[in-house]
Amino acid sequence: MKGYLWTGGLEAGRGEGSSNGRLAPWEAIAVDAVGNVIEFWGFKRNQGRVWALLYLRGEPLTAGEIERELDLSKGGVSMLLRDLERWGVVRRVRLPQDSAWRYGAETDLIRMVSHVIEEREAGFIERIRADLAEARRMAEESGNVPREHLARLEKMATLAEHVERALRLFVKTARLDVGGILGALREDSQR
Amino acid sequence: MKGYLWTGGLEAGRGEGSSNGRLAPWEAIAVDAVGNVIEFWGFKRNQGRVWALLYLRGEPLTAGEIERELDLSKGGVSMLLRDLERWGVVRRVRLPQDSAWRYGAETDLIRMVSHVIEEREAGFIERIRADLAEARRMAEESGNVPREHLARLEKMATLAEHVERALRLFVKTARLDVGGILGALREDSQR
DNA sequence: GGTGCAGTTCACGCGGTCTTGAACTATATG
DNA sequence: CATATAGTTCAAGACCGCGTGAACTGCACC
């Protein structure tokens, strides 16, 4: 099911699912490794795989190529690319001689991660806070809530705030921290 | 489905799913809020809910009580408690007069998060690294891989390392950072 | 030993997410 | 304008994880 597959050889059987591109075994491994990380971070595995492929190849590929290399469906590739593009980690380019779009990897993966994490976080932690505030309001209004219970509720809210702060900080430092490497990633895409 | 429910009133209908404990509405909200965060962080929603309930109540509850308050199944509660206990965020105590175990909230939720994140991370990033190393080895062995491709692969590995480092750092600082609040959380459970 | 309750384990079902595949739109080419 | 190819959208289905509920274990008390 994975898509690890043979290294050389021509098409073995012509069963429909099988004939994929010629992803080298080492590419398959690297691509999947990235897929795993990315999935771990709450994205779709295949978003990571697509990006990794584009990055490793260095040059822009067409949707069709991606489809074959990673053995994904047309529709799937379309959606994945749209996501990646929206997040700014993949750029769509039109080669003059070619009639189809091509997609190239942008190097700041971090942008994607921080971007989306921030976003999710914003909408999310915000809601949590609202909920906790609401709970507090209700508890206070209802009157018959023991004081220490209330106190604990408040502390919970405080905790949430601190965690939030820590998270923001993390995203920020991570961005800076990794900034250097990004430079490294980038430098040869130009050469 | 959620479990928000009525505030007063006796049992409305005796339909099987319905009769739960008397979770106050504000408790329900707070509990769910925690559940959401925790879920967001990659744990199970109900793990967060259980912990929150125990924390808010201040005193240890029995599994049966938890079951009723949060409207969960016996088996579910058992498993959830086991997880929480293993992570050190819930403590099992036996009151002398009581025949059943009771479960109390430990205040360092952070311990749970950092602990488990570290753990997951350890097993996880470790594997990623291994995979990338493997890919690199294969690529080098196979010989016919363009040099820049190899270079990109290496940079990817570097990136992974840095991200890993950033994560570790985050966990560490978060722990310190929140340490203060933990003190706050703790202080009244003693009084 | 028997009864009853607390707690554990696990196969199954439900719900949600991701992917597929086909219908559809858009764009180029003869 | 007809045809082919690239790209998008979406309903249906595959897949996966969680919680349930029932069978089971363990323990206490009679």
Tens of pLDDT along A66-88? 999 999 999 999 999 999 999 88
What's the whole-number mean pLDDT along residues A17-23? 53
Whether the pLDDT of residue A50 is over 90: the answer is: yes
The residues, ordered by sequence, that sit 6+ positions from B71 with a Cβ below 8 Å of its Cβ are: B3, B17, B20
Task: Supply the mean pLDDT for chain B.
Answer: 79
> How near does any CA of chain B get to the CA of A137, in Å?
8
C-alpha distances (whole Å) from B185 to each of B16, B48, B105 are 37, 16, 11
Rounded CA separation B86/A123 (Å): 31
Least confident span in A182-191, B50-59, B137-146 = A182-191
Contact residues, chain B, for A58 at CB < 8 Å: 148-149, 152
Which DSSP symbol is given to A61?
B
CA-based max dimension of chain A: 77
Return the pLDDT at B179. Answer: 54
Q: Which residue has the higher pLDDT, B191 or A182?
A: A182
User: What percentage of chain B exceeds 70 in pLDDT?
Assistant: 78
**Segment B18-35 mean pLDDT:** 82
Lowest mean pLDDT among A134-148, A164-178, B48-62, B110-124: A164-178
Q: Are B188 and A148 in contact (CB under 8 A)?
A: yes
Give start and end residues of each alpha helix (H) in chain A. Answer: 25-40, 45-57, 63-70, 74-86, 109-142, 147-190
Average pLDDT in chain A? 79
B17 CB closer than 7 A to any strand C atom: no
pLDDT by residue (tens digit) across B108-159?
Answer: 776 777 777 777 777 787 888 889 999 999 999 998 899 989 999 998 888 7
pLDDT at A173 over 90: no
Could you tell me the pLDDT band of residue A189, with boundaries at 50, 70 and 90? very low
pLDDT at residue A19 greater than cutoff 50? no
A188 touches chain B (CB under 8 A): yes
pTM assigned to the model: 0.79
Is pLDDT at A112 greater than 80 in this prediction? no
Copy the structure tokens of residue A87: 């997040």
Q: B135, A27: Cβ pair inside 8 Å?
A: yes
pLDDT at B181: 56
Query: What pLDDT is recorded for position B119?
Result: 75
Indicate if CB(A101) is under 7 A from strand D: yes
Residues pairing with B94 in the sheet: B101
Q: What is the pLDDT of residue B126?
A: 81
More confident residue, A117 or A47: A47
Which residue among A127, A138, A166 places its CB closest to the CB of B25? Answer: A138
